[in-house]
Amino acid sequence: MEIDVPVLMHAPRSVRVERIQDETPSIRSFWFSDATLHHARPGQFAMVWVPGVDEVPMSVLAIHGHSEAGLVIKKGGPVSVALWDKKPGDKLWVRGPYGQPYTVGHHHRLLIVGGGTGLVPLISLLVHLRGREITLITGARTASELLFKDWLIRESKEHNFKLLFATDDGSYGEKNQVPKVVEHVLKADKFDAIYTCGPEPMMKLVYDLARLKQCHMQVSLERVFKCGLGICAACVIGPYLVCRDGPVFSERELSGMPEFGHERRDLSGKKVPLGVGH
């Protein structure tokens, strides 16, 4: 029997973990060789399958080597814990890359705002945008949870961008919440565009600030993905499918999504307030 190439493209393929790095006490990165994911654009995601557990979307980090790709995983529930147990040489199952990436066009003065593993697609974007005038704001509860802190400090010196950290407990950078830092920065400076990814309540506050400033904005949304390629509608929001039309959306698209910042669908498809578990 002949199998279509497009069907094969969507079949999970096995890759072997080559190296693992602890990034924070709860976030670990897993690196492997996959020429297809290596070409993922900033903001695109892979579907990552753990046989017998489940398959979930993960941002792809492809900033090193000729075919290397990385997943940066926060330890939480069943899938992420199963992934955390992987050792170098173990197999991962991936498909993709899928979804719409961030777009930049001619924008030059850029504000990048990330929190938690939401920083992952923004790191790809940052590397992609070297040479533009960039301010990056990121935060965490406490210093040890600041993802890629040392790498960002080195990059900001080497590639000359402005870097601002915020921690809830003031153990590193400004003692503040990220949206408050964004508010101060937007008062002092003008930007052509804002790019954000992180907890949705944070992104909604940043979105509201961007609208006040009439600043172009792109937001990467997180929803339950099942097929990951626009077939099942598990990820529907307003008139959009997040896996196919996003995960990156512009402020114009976000204005047509009353659910943004307020509610999402659980694993059964029922609408629930943001913050309620799967």
Ligand X SMILES: Cc1cc2nc3c(=O)[nH]c(=O)nc-3n(C[C@H](O)[C@H](O)[C@H](O)COP(=O)(O)OP(=O)(O)OC[C@H]3O[C@@H](n4cnc5c(N)ncnc54)[C@H](O)[C@@H]3O)c2cc1C
Q: Is 230 in the site for ligand FES (CB under 6 A)?
A: yes
Is 35 exposed, middle or buried (CB count within 10 Å of its CB: 0-12, 13-18, 19+)?
A: exposed
Q: Which residues contact 98 (CB under 8 A, 6 or more apart)?
A: 44, 45, 46, 47, 57, 228, 229, 243, 244
Establish if 235 lies at the interface with ligand FES (CB under 6 A): yes
Kindly write out the interface string for residues 206-225 of this chain, putting x where it contacts ligand FES by CB under 6 A and - elsewhere: -------------------x
Give Cβ neighbours of residue 158 (< 8 Å, ≥ 6 apart): none
Quick count: other Cβ atoms within 10 Å of Cβ 61? 24
Beta strands in 11-118 (DSSP E): 13-24, 27-33, 45-50, 54-59, 68-74, 91-98, 109-115
Indicate which of ligand X, ligand FES, none lies near residue 59 (CB less than 5 to 8 Å, by partner kind).
Answer: ligand X
**Should residue 165 be labelled a site residue for ligand X when binding is judged by CB under 6 A?**
no
Instruction: Tell me: does residue 248 bind ligand FES (CB under 6 A).
Output: no
Cα 178 to chain centroid distance, Å, stands at 16
* Neighbouring-strand partners of residue 248: 220
Which does residue 278 touch among ligand FES, ligand X, none (CB within 5 to 8 A, set by kind)? Answer: ligand X
Choose among ligand X, ligand FES, none what residue 9 binds, the Cβ cut-off being 5 to 8 Å by kind. none
Residue 142, CA distances (Å) to 25, 136, 175 in order: 11, 18, 10
Among 112, 247, 253, 265, binds ligand X (CB under 6 A): 247
Q: Which is nearer to ligand FES, 73 or 243 (CB)?
A: 243
Residue 241 interacts with which of ligand FES, ligand X, none, CB < 5 to 8 Å by class = ligand FES
**Which residues contact ligand X (rule: CB under 6 A)?**
45, 54, 56-59, 72-74, 76-80, 117, 120, 222-225, 247, 267, 278
**Which residues contact ligand FES (rule: CB under 6 A)?**
225-228, 230-235, 241, 243-244
